[in-house]
C-alpha cells in the first residue's frame, strides 16, 4: 500500500475510533448508544466502499494508461528482437 493509502486508512480508523469513543462517553441510554454506533458504522462502511471504488477506478485508469504505453512500445521492441535474432543467426553460420 502506498503512503496515500496508509494515510487514508489511518483517517478512516481514526474517525471510527473517535466516533465510537464520543458516542460511548456521551450521556445517552444504552439503546440510543447502540443506535448511534450502528448509524456511525453504516456511515463509515459507506465511506469505505466509496473510497475503495475510487481507488479501484484510479488503479484501472492507471493500468489502462500503462497498457497503452506498452502497446506503443511493443512493436519497436519486436523490431529490436527481430534484429537481434537475425544477428544471432548470422553469428551461428
For residue 74, name the pLDDT band (cuts at 50, 70, 90). low
Cell of 22: 464520543
| Distance, CA of 75 to CA of 47 (rounded, Å) | 43
Q: What is the pLDDT of residues 46-72, one digit of tens each?
A: 888 888 888 888 888 887 787 667 666
Give the mean pLDDT of the chain: 77
Find, among 49, 19, 25, the residue nearest to 37 by Cα.
Answer: 19
pTM of the model: 0.49
Say yes or no to pLDDT of 15 above 60: yes
Q: How confident is the model at residue 75, as a pLDDT?
A: 65
Amino acid at each position: 500500500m502506498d503512503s496515500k493509502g496508509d494515510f487514508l486508512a489511518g483517517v478512516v480508523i481514526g474517525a471510527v475510533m473517535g466516533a465510537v469513543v464520543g458516542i460511548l462517553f456521551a450521556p445517552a441510554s444504552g439503546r440510543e448508544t447502540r443506535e448511534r454506533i450502528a448509524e456511525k458504522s453504516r456511515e463509515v462502511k459507506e465511506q469505505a466502499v466509496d473510497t475503495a471504488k475510487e481507488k479501484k477506478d484510479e488503479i484501472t485508469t492507471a493500468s489502462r494508461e500503462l497498457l497503452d504505453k506498452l502497446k506503443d512500445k511493443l512493436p519497436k521492441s519486436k523490431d529490436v528482437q527481430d534484429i537481434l535474432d537475425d544477428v544471432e543467426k548470422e553469428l551461428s553460420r
